[in-house]
């Protein structure tokens, strides 16, 4: 399995940014209330990033430091998890960034709260992408180590 191409992650991030920017105007167009970002969303992304980081560190130590072999199904599971989390982290993080940007200069009552929480969720999305790419890298084995 090849590493996740940066263009693919960037495309997912761009899609998330566009959707995030459109959430508020679409809610206004339907005369609806824009979604409120609670602390659960950013904390969930930060938790996923932490779990991926710990898994990446443990995998790196097993494969590269102690020279242990991963079972094939474990390696595939970790690679699939890493790729999925990289793409979804990019989509969600950029979506929250777009949502935060859409509130800049707004006079709404909860605009500042939405921007702060969306900003923290964006950071969680970025950390999720970084941790996922580190996990993907930790699963790689050099060609001379495959024997």
Quote the pLDDT of residue 104.
93
Token digits of residue 127: 């950390």
User: What H or E segment, with its residue span, contains residue 147?
Assistant: none
Q: What Rg, from alpha-carbon coordinates, does the chain have?
A: 18
Quote the pLDDT of residue 147.
44
Give the residue carrying structure tokens 């006079």: 107
CB atoms within 10 A of CB 8: 13
Beta strands in the chain (DSSP E): none
CB atoms within 10 A of CB 119: 17
Sign of the C-alpha dihedral, residues 11, 16, 22, 27? positive
pTM reported for the whole predicted model: 0.90
Quote the pLDDT of residue 106.
86
pLDDT tens digit at each of 147 positions of the chain: 677 788 999 999 999 999 999 999 999 899 998 899 999 999 999 999 999 999 999 999 999 999 888 898 999 999 999 999 999 999 999 999 999 999 998 888 889 999 999 999 999 999 999 999 999 999 987 665 454
Quote the pLDDT of residue 127.
98
**Residue of 91, 81, 100 whose CA lies nearest to 125:** 91
Q: What is the DSSP letter of 32?
A: -
Quote the pLDDT of residue 56.
97
Quote the pLDDT of residue 107.
85
Sign of the C-alpha dihedral, residues 41, 42, 43, 47? positive
Quote the pLDDT of residue 5.
86
Contact 92, 46 (CB under 8 A): no
């Amino acid at each position: 399995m090849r590493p996740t191409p940066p263009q693919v992650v960037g495309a997912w991030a761009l899609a998330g940014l566009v959707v995030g920017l459109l959430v508020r105007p679409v809610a206004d167009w339907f005369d609806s209330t824009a979604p409120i970002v609670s602390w659960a969303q950013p904390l969930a992304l930060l938790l996923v990033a932490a779990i991926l980081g710990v898994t990446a560190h443990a995998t790196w130590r097993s494969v590269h430091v102690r020279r242990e072999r991963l079972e094939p199904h474990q390696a595939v599971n970790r690679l699939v998890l890493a790729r999925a989390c990289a793409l979804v982290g990019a989509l969600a993080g950029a979506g929250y960034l777009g949502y935060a940007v859409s509130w800049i200069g707004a006079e709404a009552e909860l605009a500042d709260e939405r921007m702060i929480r969306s900003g923290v969720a964006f950071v969680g999305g970025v950390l999720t992408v970084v941790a996922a790419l580190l996990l993907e890298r930790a699963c790689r084995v050099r060609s001379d180590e495959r024997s």
